[in-house]
Amino acid sequence: MAAFLSGRFFVITASVIALLCLLPHVAVLLAAFSGSFDTLEQLSNTVLGRYASATLILVVCVAFGTACLGAGAAWLVTMTDFPGRRLCEIALVIPLAFPAYVLAYAYTHILDHPGIVQTTLRAMFGWGPRDYWFPEIRSIGGAAMMLTLVLYPYVYLLARASFMGQSATTFHAARALGRTPTGAFFSVCLPLARPAIAAGVMLATMETIADFGTVAYFGVQTFATGIYTSWFTLADRAAAAQLALGLLAFALLLAMLERYSRGNVRYNNGRRQEAMVRLQLTGARKWGAMTLCLLPVVLGVVIPVITLTTMAIGSEQDIFSRRYIGFIQNTLTLATIAALLTVAGAIVLGSVHRVKATRLTGAALYIARLGYAVPGGVIAVGLLVPFAAFDNTLDAWMRATFDVSTGLLFTGSIWVLILAYLIRFMAAALGSYEGGISAVSPNMDAAARVLGQGVGGLVRRVHAPIIAPSLFTAALIVFVDVIKELPATLIMRPFNYDTLAVQAYRLASDERLQGAAVPSLMIALLGLVPVVLLCRRVARDNA
């Protein structure tokens, strides 16, 4: 056991994890330049510009929406007092449990031409189909709204933590210099929270360019839908890899621009010597604050749940059938295994870098974080290309040498799919691990090493007990993300191994929205349990 948890084991394991995280990026790069560019040339003359413009517009809209909604709500619940503030503080996290494509199904049922809203308007005013104008939900604007409603909690959680960590001294100084509370917020509090808000917006934008279910259902042509179309409809894997490379470059460009925009500016809140006194809102302001905080919860949780429940009651889907029990088991199995392995990988990578920080271990951490900036479809293409090549090469050699066919050993297996999840969500697990380990003094590490503990003993006896809440949070975040993940699952799942997300997408694609409501509700329910546990941690932080 001691040898198993030795320092060499941790170093080797960390190196393997980093190489696996690097594999899809290298594979996409090689596949993009080794294949023919004929299909890509045709796409560039037809829809490639549309892919780029739609993706860019979607990113800008979601970035602006999540920044305003998340930072504004965080400021109100942290710095002001109004009726229902404690309820709003917790409820604002709940939309994190809902995938954007689930909201898309619900709002299409409500706002589309045959939906209850337009049907009621036509009945009340006697309008015909061409007598009125109504916003089209199946559009870039509709997709941006769905994504904003489920992604703003990333900004909200990080901005809230930043506002809570600020000292009242700077705020009072701004007030003493003549600033109003709103002016002090924009001139002092908001700039100090910029790194946290930028990090949340970056997470939201990465999820936006990775989204497939929402844009595919709304008919918005982005790079994510183009990759899927090239892979399955056009059967051109080289073109899919080339589009994936373009999307990868776009994602990395966003990350570089955000970091460049900060430059060498340093943000230092200092020690929180004086807690911020909440501003007591009165009159219309307190009701306005309560409305602004409850509105995203109503739009992102209450209305979709009521709508999907109504749709599910009238559907022919039986959630207790053996088929649906299989969907639930598959979903929970993938999410549980992926969460455990991803957190374990984060512990190994983080521990190696903490014990012996070198350029190599730093590079391993950087590579492991790249996955969150890469859409699931890109990772799927990047893993399927090398593993399919390996399977075909091995099968050909076995046939020629022993007249035995090995078939597909890796391609289409559950373990390659879990590897895709691990690469995709390793950054989220590393973030939680580093947030917890920062509270562990290096003196504790030195004391444990003096007492003869190796890396394994240090992690098991010192780090794990102290950062257990952070590791639990990391597992919950990965668990929820895997339940909601669609493009990687859709491309890489084994045959006849469908999940709730795949079933919901399949039914919605066939315009069977009532049927899609059942798996959609189950996705939300399964994701809600971990989010409620995260909300309890938020409540404890407030105590």
At 3 the pLDDT is 42
- pLDDT: which is higher, 293 or 372: 293
Whole-model pTM? 0.81
Token pair listed for 514: 């009532």
Average pLDDT over residues 70-93: 87
Task: Report how far residue 81's alpha carbon sits from residue 419's, in angstroms, rounded to the nearest whole number.
Answer: 45
141-145, 162-166, 204-208, 365-369: range with lowest mean pLDDT: 162-166
Given a cut of 50, is residue 1 above it in pLDDT?
no
The stretches of 280-407 forming alpha helices (DSSP H) are: 284-297, 303-313, 322-355, 359-369, 376-402
Position 131 scores a pLDDT of 75
Q: Sign of torsion, CA 513 515 518 519?
A: negative
Please report, as a single letter, which amino acid is at residue 248. Answer: L
| Type of residue found at 448 | A
Specify which residues 97 forms β-bridges with: none
Pick from 518, 96, 527, 94: nearest CA to 308: 518
Distance in angstroms (rounded) separating the CA atoms of residues 310 and 326: 24
The neighbour count for residue 36, using CB atoms within 10 Å, is: 11
29 contact partners, CB below 8 Å, separation of at least 6: 245
Name which residue leads in pLDDT, 26 or 542. Answer: 26
Tokens of 299: 């739009």
For the stretch 6-15, pLDDT in tens is 567 778 888 8
Asked whether 84 and 78 are in contact (CB, 8 A), the reply is: no
Spatial separation of the C-alpha atoms in residues 290 and 271, rounded to whole Å: 30
Q: What is the pLDDT of residues 409-446, one digit of tens each?
A: 777 788 889 999 999 888 888 877 776 776 677 777 77
**Signed CA dihedral, 397, 399, 404, 408: sign only:** positive
DSSP string, 2-70: TTTTSHHHHHHHHHHHHHHHHHHHHHHHHHHHHS-SHHHHHHHHHTHHHHHHHHHHHHHHHHHHHHHHH
Which amino acid, one-letter code, is at 270?
Answer: G
- Least Cα distance to 80 among 157, 177, 201, 163 occurs for 163
Q: Partners of 80 in the beta sheet?
A: 279
Give the pLDDT of residue 274: 54
Exposed e or buried b for every residue in 416-430, given b needs 16+ CB within 10 A?
Answer: bbbbbbbbbbbbbbb
The pair of structure tokens assigned to 61 is 């809209």
Q: Phi, psi at residue 280, to the nearest 5°?
A: -80, 110
To 10 degrees, the CA torsion angle through 482, 486, 492, 495? 100
Question: Average pLDDT in the 493-502 region?
Answer: 86
Distance CA 57, CA 209 (A): 11
CB-based contact 384:413 (threshold 8 Å): no
The two tokens of residue 434 are 């580093």
Q: Which has the closest alpha carbon to 382: 21, 25, 60, 22? A: 25
The pair phi, psi for residue 39, each rounded to 5°, is: -65, -40
Asked if residue 384 has pLDDT above 60, the reply is yes
**Residue 354, pLDDT above cutoff 50:** yes
CA–CA separation, 430 vs 18, rounded Å? 13
Q: Do residues 101 and 508 make contact, with C-beta atoms less than 8 angstroms apart?
A: yes
Choose the weakest-confidence range: 124-133, 421-430, 492-501, 518-527: 124-133
pLDDT of residue 261 exceeding 70, the answer is no
Name, in order, each residue with C-beta under 8 angstroms of 500's C-beta and a sequence gap of 6 or more.
Answer: 327, 328, 331, 483, 519, 520, 522, 523, 526
| Two structure tokens written together for 151 | 């992604």
Q: Which of 226-235, 289-298, 530-539 has the highest mean pLDDT?
A: 289-298
Q: Torsion angle, CA of 442/446/452/457, rounded to 10 degrees? A: 0
pLDDT of residue 2: 45
Q: Distance between CA 435 and CA 163 in Å, rounded?
A: 17
Percentage of the chain surpassing pLDDT 90? Answer: 14
